[in-house]
Amino acid sequence: MMTFEQAISALSSLEKRGWRLGLDRMLAFLAEAGLTAATGAGPESPKYIHVAGTNGKGSTTAFLQSLLVEQGFETGAFFSPYVFDPRERVQIGREPISKEEFALGIETLMPVGERLNSTELGGPTEFEMKTALGFWAWMRQQCEWVALEVGLGGRLDATNVVTPRASVIVSIGWDHMALLGNTLGQIAAEKAGIIKPGVPVIVGSMEPEPMEVILKIARERNAPVWRLGQEIELHPTMAGFQVKTPQRTYIGLRPGLPGQYQPANMALAVAALEAAGAVRDPERVRLGVEKAWLPGRYQKIEALGRVWLLDGAHNVNAAEALAEALFEEYGPRRFVTITSMLSGHDPQPFYEKLSGPIRTALVAPIDFFRAIPPRELAPSLAEVLADVVPMDSQSEAIDAAIAATQPGEVILVTGSFYLVGQIGNRLLKELSSPAE
């Protein structure tokens, strides 16, 4: 029996295959593994709600996961990326799958992948393997519903092998342009690739160009559309938020996830639950949105005498939302920030949006193959930020951040979910260590 550590090592060995957009290999992999029936069409398959978007897709997926659990369903979920623990990717109920299940799934699927490696398709990527692990686990646990977050884009993402009961496109913004396109319309077309014939699609607020593209594709596929601000109404009230859909009005909703953009994500999730036909008890919708939780989204950890604010923002729109949230809570305060970024993102526009809140940027390395080395990233940051210091290690960055702040002061960690997870794990380790 493979151990959890061996499973992680086996999975990591696939990183060298990089990222490959396309469905042919994923479909072949599932067929070879006997998992084709797990994708939504078969009678024993879970039912899926598929979530895409530039920003907010993880939060919307978390709201859906919690809503489905509170409706009494055996629920699965898939998140991309993970923050603190690789098992966060594949969840049952509100919990990551166990280490034993993770190891058994990888042990079962790795030989299947190696058989494919001898074909013209080649072996699965790390992301394809993790996606297949989800299908394996949800069938094994007899999940009734799964909240499924897209990895990258939508049309050619490995998760797009499902036939969902509803699709969600949360937002369209600038990210991964080298892969998804250089206009918002092109990016929207890629994300709208998750729209299936006759399947309702829930759409968040966005600019006219991407909205027109999404509506055109939905019309071509005869997919009913519910848009936030039109078919879906969201209103603040003294008792919480009110969400009105074409079928029902929900009152007194209080999103469990922090951040001023979360009520909109909550409204999309509630609407998707309804459009998918997954509302058993409308009264439990309130509890579902209140109990939603997701790491690395405006999350605070108190450790080492400081408050660490962890937010995985990594593109322009997310940076803008983070800056607004910081100003709303702290006013014009400026923060010592540990930051870094992966290749494939555009650093200057991102950090320009955060030039107000960032006092000092400590650029730390990330233990990930796509990470930009601190001394390569620092010059781009120096174009828009006044004080940029490259660091040789995350430990050095943590020590420097503490030295530059007072007890109880807030230190911001942002720029990458991988950085947030690695710094967060170091802080959580400090909290779990016995006092000397």
Q: Mark which of 269, 290, 311 sits at the end of a domain.
A: 290
Q: What are phi and psi of 89, to 5 degrees?
A: -55, -50
Give the range of the structural domain holding residue 160, as residue numbers without chain letter.
4-290
**281, 139: one domain:** yes
Structural domains of the chain, count? 2
Residue 81 has pLDDT above 90, yes or no: no
pLDDT band at 33; cut points 50, 70, 90: very high
Last residue of one domain, picked from the residues 290, 310, 342? 290
Give 277-295 pLDDT, tens digit per residue: 999 999 999 999 999 999 9
Residues 278 and 412 in one domain: no
For all residues of the chain together, what is the average pLDDT? 93
Residue 103, token pair as written in the block: 């190891």
Question: Are 329 and 222 in the same domain?
Answer: no
Same domain, residue pair 277 and 420: no
Structure-block tokens of residue 341? 């970024």
pLDDT at 432 over 90: no
Task: Check pLDDT > 70 for residue 436.
Answer: no
Q: For the domain that residue 85 is a member of, what is the CATH number?
A: 3.40.1190.10
Q: Is the pLDDT of residue 430 over 90?
A: no
What kind and span of H or E run contains 269? helix 262-275
pLDDT digits (tens, 9 = 90+) for 12-24: 999 888 777 889 9
User: Do both 259 and 306 map to the same domain?
Assistant: no
Domain boundary pick from 254, 270, 290: 290
Task: Identify whether residues 225 and 315 lie together within a single domain.
Answer: no
CB 305 within 8 A of CB 407: yes
Token pair of 120 as six digits:
């013209």
CATH code for the domain of 322:
3.90.190.20
- 249-252 long-range contacts, Cβ below 8 Å, gap at least 24? 250/282, 250/285, 250/286, 252/286
The answer to whether residues 286 and 305 belong to one domain is no
What are the pLDDT digits (tens) for 83-136?
A: 999 999 999 999 999 999 999 999 999 999 999 988 989 999 999 999 999 999
Region of poorest pLDDT, from 69-78, 176-185, 304-313, 353-362 = 176-185
Same domain, 318 and 404: yes
Instruction: Yes or no: say if 64 and 51 are a contact pair by the CB < 8 Å rule.
Output: yes
pLDDT at 178 over 80: no
> What burial class does residue 300 get, using C-beta atoms within 10 Å of its C-beta: 0-12 exposed, 13-18 middle, 19+ buried?
exposed
**Residue 181 scores a pLDDT above 80:** no
Task: Give yes or no: residues 240 and 318 share one domain.
Answer: no
Pairing of strands 358-363, 249-253: unpaired
Same domain, 150 and 270: yes
Q: Given a cut of 80, is residue 180 above it in pLDDT?
A: no
pLDDT tens-digit map of 99-108: 999 999 999 9
Angle between helix axes 99-117 and 4-12 (nearest 10 degrees) is 40
Q: How confident is the model at residue 176 (pLDDT cuts 50, 70, 90)?
A: low
Assess whether 69 and 204 both reside in one domain. yes
Query: Do the beta carbons of residue 64 and residue 161 sit within 8 Å?
Result: no
Confidence of residue 262 (pLDDT cuts 50, 70, 90): very high
pLDDT for 429 beyond 90: no
What are 400's two structure tokens?
């420097």
What span, in angstroms and rounded, lies between the C-alpha atoms of 138 and 92?
A: 7
Average of per-residue pLDDT across 145-163:
94
Q: Please name the amino acid found at residue 427.
A: L
- Residue scoring higher pLDDT (377 or 43): 377
Per-residue model confidence (pLDDT) at position 346: 84
Would you state the pLDDT for residue 435? 45
The stretch 356-380 carries a mean pLDDT of 94
Q: Are residues 32 and 178 in the same domain?
A: yes
